[in-house]
Amino acid sequence: MSLVIGLFILFIGAKENMAAAIFDFPIWLNKKLRELNTDETVFGSYIEGILDSDETTEEKSEDLQGLLSEIVENANDIAEICEEILEHWQMFRPKEQVHQMSSEEVNIKLAKLLESQSLATVKQKEYTEEDKKIKEAILSQYSEMTDDENEQEDGVVQESEGTLEKNLNAQTVAAAERNKREQARLDSQKKKEKDKEDRNKQKQLKEEKKEKRKTVKGERKRNMSAPLLFACSRCFARHPYEELSVGQQLCKECRGAFPVVKCTYCRSEFQQVSKGNTSTICKKCEQNVKSYGKPTACEYCNIIAAFIGNKCQRCTNSEIKYGPPVNCEQCKQKCAFDRHDDDKKVDGKLLCWLCTLSFKRALAKTKQGDAERRAHMKMSQLHKKHKEPKLRGHNKRPNRPDVTKIPPPEEPPNKVSRNNMAPGIMRGDVDPNSSDHVVAMTQLKEKIASLQKQLSQKNSELLNKDKTITELKANNFTTENELRHKLKSMQKEQEDKVDFLNNRISGLLKEVAGLSKTAKKGKGASLVANASGDNNSSGTDSPSIP
């Protein structure tokens, strides 16, 4: 008994020495936890419990890292803090191993002593109220167990009340890391697929742009190779520029349908607007006639276009702009105006307005005749070339046509002088001193215009009558067609009605036959029933009592 008391005293002394050695470590740990902005009362006791456990240094380090991962924001500082805690723990308890060994020896001796005395004892750790509160706080904060698991394991906890549950923070952290890595892998795979789709889309867009560029380039080349087309000012059809008229940009069809005529008064060319209106007076002169009456001959150019005063509007404007008139080099009348510009002269000559127009018409006619003559000569040469037989090998001399046997052309072309002047213009057919013939010609033209107007009216009346005749014929034809179609439709409806009535009659006849059969059968059955009823009543009915 004295031995047991001595060993107990030794054990208590060792424990007191160990407590004195560890006294400084909780102060440092609480200070460190305050630096990390955490609750030192909860986490300090939990860290001390991890350090006081019987696990190895590596296991303690893992447990500390799992705990500090919830506290420290920067993951790179966790390992340094764990090493620092372990170093201070070793530094503040230098005699821990000696005391631990001494306590183990004491425990061994006590065990041997108890075995010798055959006393069955169970050593169980006792917890204070403060330790129990700390344990409950830690378990409530870091326990990942559900309510069902807690209810199922209540009995187990009550049995092992003195034991501490195993720390599962490392497993949860590892599982979270695995899930994080798996999610990162899935995200990277999705990103790769998306990048691949984006690359394919960009490649497809580049190919489409390339195809569009090729098509645009081909269209541009075709448009450049094709001749430029211009629209007619009346029918808006597109033609080459050479086929359109110079002034009003009209095509051949519009020029043929609406010819160019000269005005009776001002002698300017204009395009007729409609076929019904064949007047040879331009719109401007018509308006002036309505406003000022018929004009008189101009004082300078002798054109019957002087509506106001003795001068036409053209000469009045030219006189204001260029000064008094001078003699024309062609007609010798004093009706030309010097513009003081050599480019405005016609072939280097100062001409009046009428002579300029006649020169331009003659020049255009000669050009057209030259072109037709060249085309005719070319066609005749090709025709002769096809008719000539092929030369033999021994006869290679060219057969030149005989000049004396060439037939002369039907109408010899007008010769053009070196200065491109028409022969009539060169000879000076116009008499400069005579203006009476101009008035007579104007009167005759007015008479011709009135006759043409009457003729056009008669033609328009004939056209209107032809239109009415054709309209009547068309109406007659349409009415005949409508009546014919109506008759056919009525016949068809009548036939359909007859077929429908025939089908209905046949159906009704079938119904009548069926009803007659059923009536016969019903009549026979009723007779049989009546006969059987009479037989039954004769045997069973009792006589009535009077």
Spatial distance between the Cα atoms of 198 and 187, rounded to a whole number of angstroms? 16
pLDDT at 94: 52
For 365-405, write each residue's pLDDT tens digit: 787 777 777 777 777 777 666 655 544 444 444 455 554 55
For 412-453, write each residue's pLDDT tens digit: 445 444 444 444 444 444 444 445 577 788 888 888 998 999
Type and span of the H or E element at 296: strand 296-297
Average pLDDT over residues 449-461: 92
What percentage of residues in the chain have a pLDDT greater than 90?
13
- Residue, of 493 and 407, whose pLDDT is higher: 493
Say yes or no to pLDDT of 410 above 70: no
CB 453 within 8 A of CB 276: no
Residue 23 backbone phi and psi in degrees, to 5:
-60, -35
Residue 476 pLDDT level (bands cut at 50, 70, 90): very high
Query: What are the residue ranges of helices labelled H in 69-168?
Result: 78-92, 96-117, 129-142, 147-152, 154-159
Q: How far apart are the first and last CA of the chain?
A: 139
Say yes or no to pLDDT of 338 above 60: yes
Lowest-confidence range among 111-120, 178-187, 253-262? 111-120
Q: Exposed, middle or buried by CB within 10 Å (0-12, 13-18, 19+), for 256?
A: exposed
What percentage of residues in the chain have a pLDDT greater than 70?
68
For 162-176, write each residue's pLDDT tens digit: 444 556 778 888 899
Spatial distance between the Cα atoms of 294 and 128, rounded to a whole number of angstroms? 139
Average pLDDT over residues 113-129: 59
Spatial distance between the Cα atoms of 51 and 182, rounded to a whole number of angstroms? 34
Lowest-confidence range among 44-48, 296-300, 430-434? 430-434
Nearest 5°: the CA angle 188, 189, 193 is 115
Residue 5 pLDDT level (bands cut at 50, 70, 90): low
Please name which of 272, 274, 278, 247 lies closest in space to residue 260, comparing C-alpha atoms: 272
- Tokens representing residue 131 in the block: 């330790």
> What rounded mean pLDDT belongs to the chain?
74
pLDDT at 11: 53
Please name which of 362, 365, 319 lies closest in space to residue 339, comparing C-alpha atoms: 319
Kind of pairing, strands 269-271 and 296-297?
A: unpaired
Average pLDDT over residues 313-330: 89
pLDDT at 122: 47
Residue 464 CA from chain centroid, whole number: 54
- Residue, of 70 and 362, whose pLDDT is higher: 362
Type and span of the H or E element at 52: helix 40-52
- Residue, of 510 and 55, whose pLDDT is higher: 510
